[in-house]
Structure formats: C-alpha cells, structure tokens
Structure 1
C-alpha cells in the first residue's frame, strides 16, 4: 500500500468532497478519468481523490502513481490484491475518505470540469443527503434518462425515476453513510453498488437531481470489459438474489417494493437470458433458469404482468423452466443474437479479467 505525499500547507482539514475511484485494469480509460479530476473547477484545496488499485496488471498502477507524483496532496493511492469486484476497493476508499461529501467515479468514466463544484454547491443549498448529476453515455453504454428530465431539489423514492438509477455514481453526504454504517457487500462481484445506493436513499432526508447539463460521462469500453458486461450469468444470478433481499429488507410488500422489483425484473433478471446464455453448459443453463424461476415465483406477483411483452415472454419461459423455448426466443431476437467476434485492444487483459466461478 502506498499513500501520496501529504497535503500542502493551507489546505482545509476537511475537504468538501472525497472522490473514490476503484480501479482494475482500466487503461487507457483511466488516464481520461484521472485527468478529469485534476481539471475540476472546485479546486484541489476543496477536494481529495482516493484511488484504490485492485490488483491491476495492465499499467493502471503505474498510471495512478504518475498522477500522484504530478499532483502531490490531491491523490491518495492504495493498492491491494485483486478482490474480484468493485465492492472491496470502494469500501477501502470510503474508509479513507475525509470529505463532507463522497462521490464514486467509475475508473472507465470521467466528469465535466465543473461537475464537483456544482454538485457540492447544490447539495449545500438544498441540504441534500444524496445528489444525482446528469449522466450521458459514451459508446454503447446505456444510462437512465427519466430521473434526469429536470433539475429538482427533491425527488421521491418512486415516481421520479430513481429505481432505474441505482448506480453509485452520486454525491453522498458522508455523515449519513457513516451514521448508518452503509458499506458495499464484498461478496457481490456484480451489482454491489445497488444495495449501497438503495439504503443511502432510504435513509436520506432529501435526494436531489442536477440535470441542466451533462456532468458524468459513462463509458462502454471497446472490449466490453466493464464488470457488469463480463460477469458470468451464474454469478449475476447470485448477485440478483441479493438485490431482492435488499428491497425486501427496506420495504414492506406494496407499491414501493414492487417499483424496485420491476426494475430488477426488467434489467438484472432479463439480462440473465442474453446472448451469453446459449453458450453456457447445459447444466449451467438449467441452473440459471431454475434460480430465475425461484425469484420470479417469489416476487413476480403484480410485477411480471407490468413488463413489456418481450421481457415478460422471456421470464415466463424461465418460470416454466422451458430452456429449449428460451434458446429459441434468444435466437430469434436480433438484440440478443451473439455479435461476431471482435478483436479488442487488450485481449490479454480480457482473459485476465474473466470472472472465476466459485
């Protein structure tokens, strides 16, 4: 573990915002990510950046140290063995954070220059516990849109698009996180940010949205190496089970719980039966189908019928355990037909990043 040089004289003892960046093999995108933090108009006296390298092997560690050397006092750098997902490095970064607010930035992504300054200003003015800034996609990445239809000093848990925007790319009041001991579930290789964000939003007195212009640029890597896109469906199923456990823990049966369950049916469960499902061994396909059927049976009442016909058809087939029909359904869906092989810029990195099943 290494730590960047100490803060320059005159730096406030408590930064306005701590930015946590969990990194694992994200070159060359990491350079743009860290550059966008150096360029922030909030100024380096009011912010700190905690970069946690989760066992990178592609030069990310060296790039982190280069930025730390160029900008002493701004970067705190931590190194650890690869943990298999973003939860552990995010927790390590959170443990080191000192700011009044904490913001989590994906190591593939980057911010507009004024993003942090405008978010902190709005959060202070609105007394926000959680604040979302407008996201836009780069490449084939998808981002929520409904929640960013307007700037709002306060939004509801349900009714303003929040269930569709559960990534951790938000500004959180750190005292709220610490008061309730909110942390990432390190047993979840994928989706670990969603229970974290859900609990923070449930505990928050006020959730705000800054949506007048794009501030967060979400990048889909050319090699589709983002953790969600490269995790095996069997692992995603186990993680999806935790998502339903979280909503049931925070909400009694009723409209609030159903709204978040609809999101999980629409996104996480449906994506189990994407282009990678037919390539699984037969026993694995049966296992994924059985697990999904269990979740649909437990939580689908009042939710399944509210899905669009395409997703409802797929999940009904999974509920019935009809794997042959599922395979036919995928084969006839152009949006789920496996694309032709493409040679990414970092094939060796892709192999290293393949999730190892337990």
Structure 2
C-alpha cells in the first residue's frame, strides 16, 4: 500500500538542528505507516549522518540516502528524494526546520480529502525575538478547489514551507530542481504551479522556519547583487517558459516588485553602495529582457511607492530618485486623519506621489461602561471599501498563540464585552484587527499626529494587555544559581545592592559567573559575581548559557587565532548584516574577547571590535 505523503529532507552539515527536525516527524499525530521521511545527505562533514542513522535503526518510516559526492546545493538531494518517494503527496522540509505536530497531519488529511493537486498551509518564522507569520498571504483562508490564478500572491512565497503537492504532477511533467546557488525554488514551484488546477488553502499551522541568529544559511551568505544576477536569469527563464499567460504575469510581477524593488532598489544596501552604477546597469538589463518578450516594467507595479520610484528612475534625475528612495526605505512618513481615514505622506514633499490611504488604522479608546456592562472599545479609521472581518488577541511576540473573540461593530467602532476575557488563557496580548481578504493590523495606542513643529513620541506604539493572572514578580528573577549566565542586553554592573554606584556596562552576550544570590533592601534578587560586584537577576537581562555544543567552539579567550577555513568577519554578533570582510586561510587575527548570541553560540571579538566565528572547524588558536 502506498504512502499518503513522502517528506523529503536534504541535509548538509545540519547537526545542531537535526534532532528537532526528526523529532517533529516522530511526534506527528499520524499513523507512521502512512508517511515516509527520506533524508538525503549531501556528504556532510559533521555528525549529521550518525544522527539520522540512529533514528533509522528505531523507526521504519525514516530512511537515509547518502550521496557519494557533494552537489553543492539542495537541488540534487531533493530530486533524488522525490524519485525515491512512494507517497501520493510530496513535501519538502529543510533540515533546520520542523513540521507542526498537530497541524501537519490535519493539513495533509484535508488536502487528501479534497484530492487537491497542491496544498498551501500556514508557516511560521521563529527568531530570537519573536514568532511571526512566514507567508500569511498564501494561506490566509480555508478554501478548496482554488485555481492558481485566483491567488494573487501565489508566487510571492515560492520556497518549500507549508506546501504539499501530488507526486504524479512532478513525475508526469518531469519537473526537477535545477542546480543553482540561489533561486532554484522559484523555478521549480513556478513550473509546478503552472501545471496545477486544484489547490486547497488552509490556515492550519503546518511548517516552522528556523531563523534563529546562529542559523546562517547559504541564502544569507549570498550578496544582494549576486542574488540579483541570478534573478535576472530566472526572469529570462520565466519570460521564455511555456506557461499560461495569467500565471506568467503573476510570476513576473513577483520578480519585479519583490526581487527588483523591495529586495534590490528599495534597500539600505543599495543606498549605502559605493557602486550604484552596477545596480542601474543590472536593472536596465531586466527591463530589456521584459521588453524583448512584450512586457513593460510599469505593468507589474501595483505598489504606489514602487510606481513612484520607477517614474523617478525613468526621469533620470538621480538625486531626486535617491532622495525619494532614502525617505521611503527609512520610513520618513507623517500621518494624519481625513474623513475618518488615515493618510500617510512623506516628510519631504514630492509631486510624484499623493498621500496614501492606510487600509486600517485601529485605535484603542479605553474601557467604556455601556448599558450596565464594561466594553473595550476600538475606533477604526479606514476607507469605506475596507471590511473588518475578525478580531483576535495575539500573544505578544508570538502569533502562533492567537485567540479569536466575538465583537460588535457599529459606527466605525469595535465593542468587546469584557465577559469574554474571563475564560481566556493567562497571556500578555496585543489586539489585532483583520481586514480585507488577508490583512491584519495591531491596535494602536494613540491617534496619529502630523504636527509641523513637534513630532509625537511613541506614535507607533501598539496596545499591550499584561495579564493580571500571570506569575508574580519574583518569577521574573533568578532566585538560585547553578551555572554561568549570559547577558541579553546592555547591562550595568554595580558596587552595591541598591544599584546606586555603577562600575561598568556589559555588552549583550557577555558571560558572567554568579557565585550567589543576595537581595536589595526591598527584597529584589541580585547576582553576586566572582569579583564581588553586583548585577541584576532579572531574566529579561540575563539567561542560562547552554553549553551542550560548546565542545565545537573556542570558549576561552585566545590572544590570537588563525583562519583554517575561509570565513567572514561581521560588525555584529548576530551575523545578520552583510560581512565586512572575507577572511582567507592562513590569516592571523588578534582577539580581545568572547561574546555569545542570545542562544549561547560563542563569537570571537577582534581587537578592532568586529566578530567572527568561534567554530573550531574554521578557526585554530595560534600557539
């Protein structure tokens, strides 16, 4: 009997994340006989294979394929996995991500019941700061029998997260991933979706994307310009592709608005570049490719800001174009109210663009006593054509925990009876208003201001409800200590327990070794450090250091290291920004300190204050 779904996982040096990935499959609330998980290892040099094999021995549905030679991208491992698969449906899982225990089984069963050719489920992005939607605009409702052209933004998210598809579609049309450093997902899913006529969309949580600080992927290592050159060729391929014209236009719209405006010209990277001419030349080449195939760039621009940018670009007034682009990239907007709607305009005046109406601007108007009962009231400023569809309580920094509640809507105001809150989970929450087909907005704490003389502070603040039933204050502090800690933010060190005399500041990520807990005069816990200095025990400022993988890293400050494998130098410990330098094999680097990311990954701090990996695979301590 065939499997319901085959889960294809390409693997290359994912040792730190594999256990969580595999455990998510083991814990799926589904009969394991209905699924198979095919891990294809691309010659990993860490312990990835050993980890997978330890599970293969215990679980029949888990399989491993070990490639003889490294292919250099996920493409060939995915192709091999799909060819080995026997499931009615295929889904692709990155080895550093995981599937939702309850949501994925519900989702695949719904897709199967519909006998859909393609399924779009909800995916979530996990960072060190929060959990947000990964691509809500492709899974914004529960619906069956959708056509691809009915989903306006179907090509805005063309990676594996949240997608399942019939294996027969891939086999019958001989669709494969091409070997590319970047962008192979776009070509694969554009070709695949062009063969689809029946889609099931679901809001069920399906897929979880790992974007924690320490997880630096090949995509993150690819520069904006490198990506743009690859995207140019992808654009050329789409223009030549034999796919229905409506879908081709949707795909090209994605390339123009997302890849060549939002991620190319509408970026700080472009504005800071000393070689803007290369950006211009490449963008002009994109225009020529579109023209060769009968398309005009302006026809794919629906975003009013991008349309204005393009008109300024075409005017060849570079100074005005760069000034305008700077203002929109850095968000130099002012807001005002007119006819019960909010409009935004740039602080600098431009004839090229009129004030833009904000689709929904909800503002908290407090608790009001109405007809003998208490209501939370929200004023909604919006254009007449925008509909309010739902209201929810969203856990602060965690959209996974969303609770929809009933409300009354009349005279542009939302009324929430406080009785509804009695049975809700004890969480700190934002209020969120859903509007239109797929959009949502958190409720603001104040009305917008557009004063010519004064700028209102904290104008963008959202309403936060802190639950009274949560744990008491002392649970916010460490009250016993058994190991080292790291600072989560800039933290002061003091001489005294009352924090009256500061000694120094510790940078975020600094390791501290407390010896005991003592208390201030009002009973607040304090950490006593090895040298007798005092610091906060508040868990918002310090956290346990996780040393389980530290055998792979340098954890004692060396005076100098030598590069043993090409790596990069960064200006922040998160490694999020573009690297400032490529370090070559054999280079010697002076080291002043070791700092940690918020999830305990060590970084070496150079004498000039920059950061590089402390991973022993890349760095050796010089003798």
TM-score band (shorter)? 0.7 to 0.9
With over 3 angstroms needed to count, the CA separation of the structure-2 counterparts of 1:151 and 1:294, relative to structure 1, is: same
Tell which deviates more after alignment, 160-169 or 138-147.
138-147
- CA deviation map 1:97-147 (0-9, x unaligned): 121111101222111113443233222221211111111221177622122
Distance 1:105 1:291 in 2: 33
Matching of residue 172 in structure 1 with residue 165 in structure 2 = yes
- Given that 1:19 and 1:104 are in contact with CA atoms closer than 8 Å, whether structure 2 keeps it comes out as yes
With over 3 angstroms needed to count, the CA separation of the structure-2 counterparts of 1:221 and 1:59, relative to structure 1, is: farther
Matching of residue 106 in structure 1 with residue 68 in structure 2 = no
Shift of residue 68 of structure 1?
2.1
Out of 313, 317, 331, the position equivalent to 2:309 is: 313
Distance 2:111 2:159 in 1: 18
Matching of residue 341 in structure 1 with residue 341 in structure 2 = no
With over 3 angstroms needed to count, the CA separation of the structure-2 counterparts of 1:16 and 1:319, relative to structure 1, is: farther
- Given that 1:182 and 1:196 are in contact with CA atoms closer than 8 Å, whether structure 2 keeps it comes out as yes
Out of 117, 120, 126, the position equivalent to 1:132 is: 120
- Given that 2:187 and 2:234 are in contact with CA atoms closer than 8 Å, whether structure 1 keeps it comes out as yes
Matching of residue 162 in structure 1 with residue 162 in structure 2 = no
* Residue 57 (structure 2) aligns with: 69
Out of 207, 211, 226, the position equivalent to 1:235 is: 226
* Residue 9 (structure 1) aligns with: none
Shift of residue 48 of structure 1?
1.0
With over 3 angstroms needed to count, the CA separation of the structure-2 counterparts of 1:73 and 1:134, relative to structure 1, is: closer
Distance 1:323 1:97 in 2: 55
Structure 1 residue runs of 5 or longer lacking an equivalent are 1-11, 353-358
* Residue 183 (structure 1) aligns with: 176
Distance 2:74 2:323 in 1: 31
Structure 2 residue runs of 5 or longer lacking an equivalent are 291-295, 332-569, 575-596, 603-612, 619-623
Matching of residue 210 in structure 1 with residue 210 in structure 2 = no
Distance 1:104 1:350 in 2: 31
Aligned residues: 332
Q: Matched residue of 1:70: which SS?
A: coil
- CA deviation map 1:274-318 (0-9, x unaligned): 455578784xx6444422321134434333542341586289659
* Residue 49 (structure 1) aligns with: 37
- Given that 2:156 and 2:258 are in contact with CA atoms closer than 8 Å, whether structure 1 keeps it comes out as no
With over 3 angstroms needed to count, the CA separation of the structure-2 counterparts of 1:42 and 1:340, relative to structure 1, is: same
Shift of residue 183 of structure 1?
0.4
Distance 1:275 1:350 in 2: 33
Larger Rg: 1 or 2?
A: 2
- Given that 1:100 and 1:173 are in contact with CA atoms closer than 8 Å, whether structure 2 keeps it comes out as yes
- Output aligned runs, 1:281-300, within 5 Å: 282=275, 286-299=277-290, 300=296
Distance 2:155 2:196 in 1: 15
Distance 1:39 1:177 in 2: 28
Aligned CA RMSD, in angstroms, stands at 3.5
Shift of residue 65 of structure 1?
2.4
* Residue 193 (structure 1) aligns with: 185
Q: Matched residue of 1:99: which SS?
A: coil
- CA deviation map 1:212-236 (0-9, x unaligned): x312112213135133322133431
Shift of residue 154 of structure 1?
2.1
Query: Which of the pair is proportionally richer in helix?
Result: 1
With over 3 angstroms needed to count, the CA separation of the structure-2 counterparts of 1:81 and 1:286, relative to structure 1, is: farther
* Residue 268 (structure 1) aligns with: 259
Tell which deviates more after alignment, 268-277 or 132-141.
268-277
Shift of residue 191 of structure 1?
1.7
Q: Matched residue of 1:189: which SS?
A: coil
TM-score using structure 2 length: 0.47
TM-score using structure 1 length: 0.79
- CA deviation map 1:12-52 (0-9, x unaligned): 4x222111011223342222111101111222211111112
With over 3 angstroms needed to count, the CA separation of the structure-2 counterparts of 1:57 and 1:266, relative to structure 1, is: farther
Out of 205, 218, 225, the position equivalent to 2:216 is: 225
With over 3 angstroms needed to count, the CA separation of the structure-2 counterparts of 1:125 and 1:229, relative to structure 1, is: same
Out of 295, 298, 303, the position equivalent to 2:299 is: 303
Query: Which of the pair is proportionally richer in strand?
Result: 2
- Given that 2:194 and 2:247 are in contact with CA atoms closer than 8 Å, whether structure 1 keeps it comes out as no
Q: Matched residue of 1:203: which SS?
A: coil
Q: Matched residue of 1:292: which SS?
A: helix
Shift of residue 334 of structure 1?
4.2
Higher relative contact order (CA 8 A, sep 6+): 1
Matching of residue 257 in structure 1 with residue 248 in structure 2 = yes
